[in-house]
Structure 1
């Protein structure tokens, strides 16, 4: 059985990727960190900045 935090991460990350706030590869990369509570503000900022930068070049 999955922990509630794992289920939450599996629910939220695809939504962030589909909304172009995370790159799909970063959603996979940060899945474990988000589920365990180890994701820091710097991780969020980097992931969002990368996604916005890529969206700006398309």
Structure 2
């Protein structure tokens, strides 16, 4: 059975990807950290910057 954090992540992760705030590969890569609450601010910043940079190139 999934924890409440994991269930919430399953809902918000696709939204973050859809809104181009996270790359799909990074959303998958960081699922464990996000659900556990151990994702650091620096990790979030890097992931969002990568997504925004990719969007700007398109």
TM-score tier after normalising by the smaller chain length: over 0.9
1 CA distance for matches of 2:19 and 2:50? 13
Structure 1 runs (4+) greater than 2 angstroms displaced: none
Report what 1:21 is aligned to.
21
Gaps of 5+ in 1: none
Count of residue correspondences = 58
CA RMSD of aligned residues (A): 0.6
Which TM-score applies when normalising by structure 1? 0.95
